[in-house]
């Protein structure tokens, strides 16, 4: 047992595991050895074995009466078990264990924050907000809590609170991940200048952070700064040639510049990656129109407006294409639809992007 403790304190987990196992072979009910064995196993990535040892202690399979009577030790072992489940990616079991910990100690921020993280992993963002918001007062400097709360607010319809909170976390911790989360949220809110600032800050901290160049390029494109958008999107494609958004946006820009040779493979790949994507199908229809493939373009546009009758742009393109195909009555009908949608646009909300 002493050998295991010394090895574990020195970071030699494999030796610690061997010594704890020897101790347990002599005395199977040695709770401290089994608990520390679980920690050492988790530290070496042997998560299933760690879960097994922690569960043995807590379930009473071994002689663990001393543990059950020692609240702090039992709490420590359950925390190790919960974290092993979380690291393994078994978020359902992790959630159950963290929930038990939180119920035992409602004011323990560590358990609460981990429970919030598992809520996020399980798509329960509103639950995370309900859990963490009451705990924030007096703990505003706890950046783990603030990050989880901000992320949960952003993804549960409370982004008015979540976005500035996430930006405070990013500034306080110099976290590229937090800046990306804030920038993505700003982008979805059509706050392009603020999104660009957040995403540029993320890239300055970590130029290789996944997805940041794509988002930064998108923000620039929607600001109308295509000259700056292009190198950002090209950087995104160098990092991941199969990035759907980067292919789509760069292809769209090149198509708008009438650089068909550059636009075509980008848009074709975007459509290949997501064949049902309406924006990708729309851009391919525009490409077909430029290439003179009017029938193919019309077929796609007709499908798009059938699925989304109030999407203005495909109706505009259809009106022009019908005239090119000598279908004036259809062209007049589309023009009338365009006029109706433009008149109703304030009621329908902002135009589709």
pTM over 0.85: no
Written as one string, the DSSP assignment of 14-76 is HHHHHHHHHHHHH-TT-HHHHHHHHHHHHHTT-HHHHHHHHHHHHHTSSS-HHHHH-HHHHHH
Average confidence (pLDDT) over 18-35? 92
Residues of each domain in the chain carrying CATH 1.25.40.10: 1-88, 277-353
Q: What is the pLDDT of residues 197-233, one digit of tens each?
A: 999 999 999 999 989 999 999 999 999 999 999 999 9
Fold (CATH) for 1-88:
1.25.40
Residues 6 or more apart from 333 whose CB is under 8 A from it?
none
Token match 């975007």: residue? 270
CATH architecture of the domain covering 277-353:
Alpha Horseshoe (1.25)
The predicted pLDDT at position 73 comes to 77
**Among 98-107, 301-310, 338-347, which stretch is predicted with the lowest mean pLDDT?**
338-347
60 confidence band (pLDDT: 50, 70, 90): low
What is the chain's Cα-based Rg?
A: 28
Report yes or no: 30 and 1 within 8 Å, Cβ to Cβ: yes
Q: What is the pLDDT of residues 113-150, one digit of tens each?
A: 999 999 999 999 999 999 999 999 999 999 999 999 99
Q: Mean pLDDT score of the chain, rounded to an integer?
A: 93
344 confidence band (pLDDT: 50, 70, 90): confident
Average confidence (pLDDT) over 163-175? 97
């Amino acid at each position: 047992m002493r050998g295991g403790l010394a090895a574990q304190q020195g970071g030699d987990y494999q030796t610690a595991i061997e010594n704890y196992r020897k101790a347990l072979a002599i005395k199977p009910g040695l709770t401290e050895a089994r608990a520390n064995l679980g920690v050492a196993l988790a530290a070496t990535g042997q998560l299933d074995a760690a879960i097994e040892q922690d569960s043995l202690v807590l379930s009473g399979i071994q002689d663990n009466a001393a543990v059950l009577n020692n609240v702090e030790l039992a709490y420590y072992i359950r925390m190790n078990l919960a974290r092993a489940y979380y690291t393994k990616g078994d978020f359902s079991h992790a959630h159950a264990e963290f929930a038990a910990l939180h119920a035992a100690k409602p004011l323990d921020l560590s358990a609460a924050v981990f429970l919030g993280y598992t809520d996020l992993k399980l798509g329960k963002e509103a639950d995370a907000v309900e859990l963490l918001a009451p705990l924030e007062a007096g703990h505003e400097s706890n950046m783990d809590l603030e990050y989880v709360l901000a992320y949960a607010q952003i993804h549960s319809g409370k982004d008015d609170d979540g976005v500035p909170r996430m930006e405070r976390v990013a500034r306080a911790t110099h976290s590229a991940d937090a800046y990306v989360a804030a920038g993505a949220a700003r982008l979805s809110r059509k706050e392009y200048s603020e999104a660009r600032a957040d995403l540029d800050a993320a890239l300055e901290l970590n130029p290789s952070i996944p997805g940041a160049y794509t988002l930064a390029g998108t923000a620039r494109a929607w600001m109308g700064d295509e000259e700056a958008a292009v190198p950002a999107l090209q950087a995104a494609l160098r990092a991941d040639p199969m990035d759907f958004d980067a292919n789509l946006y760069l292809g769209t820009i090149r198509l708008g510049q009438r650089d068909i040779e550059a636009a075509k493979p980008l848009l074709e790949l975007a459509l290949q990656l997501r064949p049902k994507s309406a924006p990708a199908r729309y851009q391919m229809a525009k490409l077909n129109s430029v290439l003179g493939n009017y029938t193919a373009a019309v077929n796609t546009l007709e499908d798009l407006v059938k699925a989304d009758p109030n999407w203005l742009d495909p109706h505009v393109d259809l009106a022009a294409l019908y005239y090119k195909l000598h279908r004036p009555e259809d062209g007049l009908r589309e023009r009338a639809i365009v006029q109706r949608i433009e008149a109703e646009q304030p009621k329908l909300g902002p135009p589709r992007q």
